[in-house]
């Protein structure tokens, strides 16, 4: 069933889309923990603060009170990336490097993918805004930070306002994704359909083909799920995405094993 994915990776016609589940495997905090840090910086009781709104509203309030998210971004960058050598033992991140996908999209803010490439002495171009497009070079893998990067506070999709702007799906990064995805297979890892961001993204990508007379020509795309979910699987299939369900009860081990197995099958022509 995944032979088209293997062939796409061999031909370097696959895009890897990396979500928060991949970062959590290195111990990065959940949204709930991030909200607690916002509360601390705003001198709120975290339990009281969390009851005042959803995560996007609370992030928006934080920015209003602090006038910027700089302090929070600094805390995230400093706290999340201690002990860079941890990435060396992450089977998931090592497989991401070795798969050789020409484009890696991620909705994660963290720098672990960049760190994994750097520690392996592998070239990588990071793209977080339209100015970074000038850095694209033939043969050099691209990391597209779809929800922003710590090096550019204005690029971070963290507050309610930035999220609403993202929903327009008309930023330079959105246009690039639409162009990149035409004719290529996409593999989504580290995501759950409980995340409305990814549901919206999948819907928009589906619409690109659904409204075309050439919908039948759309390459197959795939999403790795850490556990069976018949509702999510049916929705994925309706959107033209093939679900791949983990064979392990351990989400981290399951994804690592899947990526390593994928790499073994695709490796004969990967250099």
Q: How far is CA 23 from CA 113, 191, 193, 200, in A?
A: 9, 11, 17, 21
* Fold of the CATH domain 3-27+88-269: Rossmann fold (3.40.50)
Q: What is the pTM for the complete model shown?
A: 0.91
Q: Map out the domains of the chain as residue ranges.
A: 3-27+88-269, 31-80
Residues 108-150 pLDDT 10s: 999 999 999 999 999 999 999 999 999 999 999 999 999 999 9
Q: Bridge-partner residues for 144, per DSSP? A: 105, 127
Express as a percent the part of the chain with pLDDT over 70: 99
- Positions of E strands within 40-184: 103-106, 125-127, 142-145
Predicted confidence at residue 100, as pLDDT, reads 95
Predicted confidence at residue 271, as pLDDT, reads 45
Order of all β-strands in the sheet with 14-18: 125-127, 142-145, 103-106, 14-18, 185-189, 221-225, 241-245
pLDDT score of 225 more than 90? yes
């Amino acid at each position: 069933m995944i032979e088209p994915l293997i062939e796409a990776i061999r031909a370097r016609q696959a895009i890897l889309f990396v979500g928060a589940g991949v970062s959590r495997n290195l111990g990065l905090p959940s949204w709930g923990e991030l909200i607690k840090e916002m509360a601390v910086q705003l001198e709120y009781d975290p339990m009281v603060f969390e009851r005042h709104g959803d995560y996007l509203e609370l992030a928006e309030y934080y920015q209003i009170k602090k006038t910027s998210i700089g302090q929070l971004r600094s805390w995230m960058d400093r706290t999340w990336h201690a002990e860079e050598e941890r990435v060396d033992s992450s089977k998931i991140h090592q497989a991401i490097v070795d798969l050789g996908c020409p484009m890696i999209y991620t909705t994660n803010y963290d720098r672990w993918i960049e760190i994994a490439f750097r520690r392996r002495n592998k070239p990588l171009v990071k793209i977080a805004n339209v100015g970074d497009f000038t850095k694209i070079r033939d043969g050099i893998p691209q990391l597209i930070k779809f929800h922003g990067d710590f090096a550019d506070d204005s690029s971070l999709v963290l507050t309610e306002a930035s999220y609403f702007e993202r929903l327009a799906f008309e930023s330079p990064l959105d246009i690039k994704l639409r162009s990149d995805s035409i004719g290529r297979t996409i593999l989504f890892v580290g995501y759950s359909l409980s995340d409305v961001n990814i549901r919206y993204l999948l819907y928009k990508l589906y619409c690109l083909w659904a409204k075309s007379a050439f919908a039948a020509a759309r390459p197959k795309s795939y999403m790795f799920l850490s556990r069976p979910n018949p509702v999510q699987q049916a929705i994925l299939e309706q959107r033209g995405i093939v679900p791949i369900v983990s064979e392990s009860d351990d989400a981290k081990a399951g994804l690592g094993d899947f990526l390593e197995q994928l790499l073994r099958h695709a490796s004969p022509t990967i250099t």
